[in-house]
């Protein structure tokens, strides 16, 4: 029997995604690309929900209770952990930032 996972978004992830969307729409003046990024992110997360542990953990420089996993979406990375049957989405980070210093 396949294990089913539920999905939980942390407020920090939602804040990260909102900031990225607003930056693309307002600062980069590309209002059509902003919602596409959000849709692609949601689609990738839902796809990963079927098997969140089926990928290699992210090698973090920090000791963690749960290992981080990542999903690459364009120039961004989604970070999540799995706690029992919950896939908890924690961060949405621009891939050219200092990721080890952030997550």
Q: What CATH number does residue 78 fall under?
A: 3.30.2310.20
Q: Give a yes or no: residue 63 inside a domain.
A: yes
Question: Considering its fold, how many domains does the chain have in total?
Answer: 1
Q: Give a yes or no: residue 37 inside a domain.
A: yes
Model pLDDT for residues 48-67, shown as the tens digit of each residue = 999 999 999 998 888 888 99
pTM value? 0.89
Model pLDDT for residues 17-43, shown as the tens digit of each residue = 999 999 999 999 999 999 999 999 999
Q: Give a yes or no: residue 103 inside a domain.
A: no
pLDDT score for 60: 80
Write out the DSSP string of 77-95: EEEEEEETTEEEEEEEEET
Q: Give a yes or no: residue 35 inside a domain.
A: yes
- pLDDT grade for 3, boundaries at 50, 70 and 90: confident
Domain extent for 80: 6-97
What average pLDDT does the segment 6-12 reach? 97
- The set of residues, in sequence order, having a beta carbon less than 8 Å from that of 17 and lying 6+ positions away, is 38, 41, 92
- pLDDT grade for 100, boundaries at 50, 70 and 90: low
């Amino acid at each position: 029997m396949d294990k089913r996972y539920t999905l939980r978004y942390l407020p920090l992830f939602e804040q990260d995604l909102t900031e990225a969307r607003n930056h693309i729409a307002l600062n980069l003046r590309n209002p059509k690309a902003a919602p596409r990024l959000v849709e692609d992110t949601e689609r990738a997360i839902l796809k990963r929900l079927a098997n969140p542990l089926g990928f290699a953990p992210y090698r973090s420089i920090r000791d963690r209770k749960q290992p981080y996993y990542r999903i690459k979406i364009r120039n961004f990375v989604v970070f999540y952990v799995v706690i029992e049957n919950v896939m908890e989405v924690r961060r949405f980070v621009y891939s050219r930032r200092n990721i080890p210093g952030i997550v």
